[in-house]
Structure 1
């Protein structure tokens, strides 16, 4: 049975951004404005994850959303702006997280999967390739049981490729999905991060990352 996601926002910006992210998951999505918040999170509500746009005036409702989510036993992902991060007070529970409004699709997907995974034992949390294991819930990678120290962007790039095997992605597409839409870095940044990821994977695993000259990269 699909997980139930409640998307609460007063603008269309986040809705348009998250639609392609949520469409890749086995979830049913209900969308509403903050005016229907209390009704949709009433006792007995069947919700696994609340995605709440905590921006502008809606930020004032964040603590109420946190309390309602905790009382209903559902996870919460707050969408916010960097200027408001210092004012956020989220639950220390692992089922509560936040993401920047301009975050990449890859980051949003990883965070949503982790949150859904905390409420669903059947949610796929790990990917194993040869002697490498990726934990999508904790953002950790081990090779032969030893942890590998990836930066967040290196991890996001690797996770995106591993989750879309045998498909060549151009540098522009990788920039869009890993770095985000509002990025000011060039395509050379992708090449640099690919080299770093290959180096940390080691000779054997690095061969899984293929290069199509003049186009981009793929995972095989």
Structure 2
């Protein structure tokens, strides 16, 4: 049987019932699914199967999900990663600079929502129209999906890239956190805006002194123009 057209998602989860539920909803959405239950096997599967996305439980035994993601990023693999965690207070660490995750859900979660978030992450892939945006020393090329701060190219996750592009497309405009959540993540502000703040912090740290992003206290964020 041929693989579904959306591509293969690697699900790394050591609780069988949860893994089966995630796989069921992803397959309903047209994805092929490969499952693993530990970190070492997950890394081997990433290298062997080249999935379009990875749904990764943080609480794996042995090599945990954070270390799996960290190892992928250190090897230059920026396959979208969506973390599954049992603790909301882990969010800052999961989405931290050293990990480079694209999104997360906390247990208990809706498998329908998780599948929707995978689709959202993958909508940020190649195929956008030719656009280049500049803001000071920062340059973003939508077609090539590359970003530079001065002469240094900066590696961004797909979520970080789309967030920066959203700000640079309308320089000077102040975006509320809920507006960014809707535009970049594809879901409403009722889902919580903390993830926006975490990703903005990531972008600023990666872009360094060249970062054009400014905070508008009590409102949201804006990017200064060229």
TM-score calculated relative to the size of structure 2: 0.47
Q: Which has the larger radius of gyration?
A: 1
